[in-house]
Structure 1
């Protein structure tokens, strides 16, 4: 489906924006910068942002393994997104039902790891982030999740349509 290619391109663009252009920062304000690689808070004494090291974050109750796992999940989704269009092109050329099922599985995995990574990150940092603090990187990741959901629905509907219109070619018993 053509809509799948468009949403895949949008998905990749949003992921690249959030994780590379914005450097993984979900909050990037003059008095606060919090992201997958930064945790900087305003220091009133020095009058500037102070970026904290992991030992300080642990004292604040932030789990280092949790933050690393969140980062791995979100950036793994970016890697999947980079190679996903190649896989889709291959499946579209061959028109095999199993290929479309694999596409659906990949989309679901991407949705799970992105949601899981973002959820773990927000759980660890929620004490220092208010809803109004989120900036472009966070909004881009939310947009990515919306597009992933749209891709999942598109792939599911395409499989259902193919099953209904070409039952002999796609296996009637599936």
Structure 2
């Protein structure tokens, strides 16, 4: 018969796993919205469109948005290699987000605590490269973007940052829970004994 304490421990583990899956799904949804649906545009207004692939400003003479090329950006003090680096970092994070749930599902099926350390490392790497890419891009373009200009793409990336932080905390809690559970299960406790057929 399973003790009440063991049942609570298992419920806690399942709850943390479910929470991690929900956070991973939310991260993928936000990243997909920002980088695919919004095409990487952090500012998407009628008179301004600025993103990882676009830098368009309103041209008063032509009365339309004029998208600038890399040579024009360089004249304006924006480093094209810096923009490319920011784009690579952010879109690499999207690739991580696509394949991460598959790895997460595998870890949950295998039920190996050691693999959760790998999950934690992946999440930290994701957070670092997303922060680095977004920070680099905003540093390069801050002269042309006001805080009130940001639209859905930027807000989705900020939400992604928050969800990545929550995932790191959840994975840390799971590792702490697993360590605590293993310590409590000595070789002579009922739950550690092999099941007889």
User: Any residues of structure 2 matched to 1:46-125 within 5 Å, and which?
Assistant: 46-125=62-141
Count of residues in correspondence between the two structures: 169
Match status 1:142 vs 2:163: no
Shift of 1:112: 0.3
Q: 2: CA distance between counterparts of 1:69 and 1:58?
A: 15
**What per-residue deviation string (whole Å, max 9, x for no partner) do you get for residues 122-156 of structure 1?**
00000000000000000000000000000000000
Partner of 1:164, secondary structure, is helix
Q: 2: CA distance between counterparts of 1:156 and 1:11?
A: 18
Shift of 1:166: 1.2
Partner of 2:98, secondary structure, is helix
Corresponding residue number in structure 2 for 1:129:
145
Compute the TM-score of the two structures, normalised by the length of structure 2: 0.84
- Max Rg structure: 2
Q: 2: CA distance between counterparts of 1:23 and 1:163?
A: 42
Cα pair distance change 1:70/1:62, threshold 3 Å: same
Q: Pick the aligned partner of 2:25 from 4, 9, 20.
A: 9
Q: 2: CA distance between counterparts of 1:58 and 1:131?
A: 23
Q: Which residues of structure 2 form unaligned runs of 5+?
A: 1-16, 186-197
Partner of 1:62, secondary structure, is coil
Give structure 1 regions of 4+ aligned residues with deviation exceeding 4 angstroms. Answer: none
Corresponding residue number in structure 1 for 2:174:
158
Q: Which residues of structure 1 form unaligned runs of 5+?
A: 170-174
**What per-residue deviation string (whole Å, max 9, x for no partner) do you get for residues 59-104 of structure 1?**
0010111000000000000000000011001111112122100000
